[in-house]
């Protein structure tokens, strides 16, 4: 285990741009800033994990948290009344933002532990953590951190992605953006039978890995199956599956590459033929309305590859808002 040669840094699980140059400099749409040891009365805490050293191809997701927080044309006033419901989910849920985890560039293990500690701190305080990534490696510490509070094997994980992310290793590393779901299953944090994956397509992983997933009873909805069944039916089944066997709640992980790269090009491993923007927004809102959301992350948003209109950052921002709207409607 790497210990940084800096006692002050080692004590700080969270940090602003004071410590890492690519950390966010403001809060999500201007919601109140809080400190992890003083989270206040609200139900939801936003935090960033500007980590992209688990990436196998195009990097850049370290700039995701800042881009997602800022992608909006409105005032940074922490107030966003939703047209369909009239609810301002930011105010209704008392959403606050504690900034970005002090991840250490190039250091996988210490960064992962710090992310897990920060998420566990939020979860342990009875709040719902929403983590802005970062590459998909972070879902390992994100869901692991939630499991430290809510119990190993006690909740479902609904995973939107073009890729399964169940590889054993990538470039001989167990921690990488193609392996987090395998780590969660192996550790017992989220057993295979509590996984629902939506949107898989393309040319990875190989058949042996798909067989491993089958053996672990993961529920997988590939894009071709979604086209056959219709997305509404898939979400109906996901809700049913996620509550089966007494699961306490759900963690939702959205890899932005589940959306077609024509609509969301700002990502590291684009795979054509994905969901539409409307599809993902409606799906996450429905899931957080119908299920007990214990945590969520939005990952793989890579600003250097985004379009001139910053459409991927805008979409990621709205995915967070729709998740929050669903939660607010549920109450
Ligand atoms: Mn992924």
Q: Residue 209 Cα, ligand 1 centroid: separation in angstroms?
A: 15
Q: Residue 110 Cα, ligand 1 centroid: separation in angstroms?
A: 21
Least confident of 18-32, 141-155, 252-266: 18-32
- CATH class held by domain 7-330: alpha beta
Q: What is the pTM of this model?
A: 0.96
CA–CA separation, 312 vs 76, rounded Å?
A: 19
Q: pLDDT tens digits, residue range 33-48?
A: 998 888 999 999 999 9
- Mean pLDDT computed over 84-89: 96
Q: For residue 299, what is the enclosing H or E element?
A: strand 293-299
CA–CA separation, 25 vs 277, rounded Å?
A: 27
Task: Report which of 222, 211, 219, 223 is spatially closest to residue 244, judged by C-alpha positions.
Answer: 219
CA–CA separation, 113 vs 93, rounded Å?
A: 28
pLDDT category, 18, cuts 50, 70, 90?
confident
**Structural tokens at position 298:** 């939005």
Q: Residue 161 Cα, ligand 1 centroid: separation in angstroms?
A: 5
DSSP state of 126: T
Q: For residue 149, what is the enclosing H or E element?
A: helix 139-150
Q: Residue 4 Cα, ligand 1 centroid: separation in angstroms?
A: 29
Q: Residue 95 Cα, ligand 1 centroid: separation in angstroms?
A: 26
Q: Residue 44 Cα, ligand 1 centroid: separation in angstroms?
A: 24
Q: Residue 210 Cα, ligand 1 centroid: separation in angstroms?
A: 15
Q: Residue 245 Cα, ligand 1 centroid: separation in angstroms?
A: 26
Q: Residue 20 Cα, ligand 1 centroid: separation in angstroms?
A: 24
Torsion over CA: 290, 291, 297, 302 (sign) = negative
N-terminal to C-terminal alpha carbon distance within the chain: 43
Asked whether the predicted pLDDT for residue 5 surpasses 50, the reply is no
Q: Residue 86 Cα, ligand 1 centroid: separation in angstroms?
A: 33
Q: pLDDT tens digits, residue range 264-319?
A: 999 999 999 999 999 999 999 999 999 999 999 999 999 999 999 999 999 999 99
Cβ(274)–Cβ(227) below 8 Å: no
Asked whether the predicted pLDDT for residue 242 surpasses 60, the reply is yes
Q: Residue 9 Cα, ligand 1 centroid: separation in angstroms?
A: 29
Q: Residue 273 Cα, ligand 1 centroid: separation in angstroms?
A: 15
Query: In the block, which residue shows the tokens 């190039």?
Result: 106
Q: Residue 37 Cα, ligand 1 centroid: separation in angstroms?
A: 31
Q: Residue 29 Cα, ligand 1 centroid: separation in angstroms?
A: 25
3-state secondary structure of 44: strand
Task: Report which of 254, 313, 282, 261 is spatially closest to residue 24, judged by C-alpha positions.
Answer: 313
Asked whether the predicted pLDDT for residue 13 surpasses 60, the reply is no
């Amino acid at each position: 285990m790497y210990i940084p040669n800096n006692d002050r840094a080692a004590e700080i699980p969270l940090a602003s741009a004071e410590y890492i140059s690519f950390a966010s400099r403001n809060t999500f749409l201007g919601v109140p800033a809080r400190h992890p040891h003083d989270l206040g009365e609200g139900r939801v805490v936003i935090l960033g994990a500007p980590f992209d050293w688990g990436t196998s191809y195009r990097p850049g997701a370290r700039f995701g948290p800042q881009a997602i927080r800022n992608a909006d044309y409105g005032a940074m006033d922490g107030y966003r009344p939703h047209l369909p419901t009239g609810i301002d989910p930011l105010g209704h849920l008392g959403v606050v933002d504690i900034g970005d985890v002090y991840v250490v560039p190039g250091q996988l293990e210490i960064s992962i532990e710090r992310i897990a500690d920060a998420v566990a701190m939020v979860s342990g305080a009875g709040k719902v953590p929403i983590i802005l990534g970062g590459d998909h490696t972070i879902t390992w510490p994100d869901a692991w951190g939630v499991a430290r509070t809510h119990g190993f094997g006690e909740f479902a994980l609904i995973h939107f992605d073009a890729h399964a992310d169940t590889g054993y290793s990538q470039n001989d590393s167990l921690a990488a953006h193609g392996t987090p779901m395998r780590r969660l299953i192996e550790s017992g944090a989220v057993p295979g039978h509590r996984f629902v994956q939506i949107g898989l397509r393309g040319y990875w992983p190989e058949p042996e890995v798909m067989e491993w997933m089958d053996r672990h009873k993961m529920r997988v909805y590939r894009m071709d199956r979604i086209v056959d069944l219709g997305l509404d039916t898939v979400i109906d089944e996901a809700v049913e599956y996620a509550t089966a066997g007494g699961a306490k709640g759900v963690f939702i992980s959205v890899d932005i590459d589940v959306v077609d790269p024509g609509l969301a090009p700002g990502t590291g491993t684009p795979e054509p033929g994905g969901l539409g923007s409307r599809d993902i927004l409606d799906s996450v809102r429905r899931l957080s309305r119908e299920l007990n959301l214990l945590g969520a992350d939005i990952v793989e948003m890579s600003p250097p590859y985004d379009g001139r209109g910053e459409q991927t950052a805008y979409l990621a921002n709205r995915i967070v808002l729709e998740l929050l709207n669903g939660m607010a409607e549920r109450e």
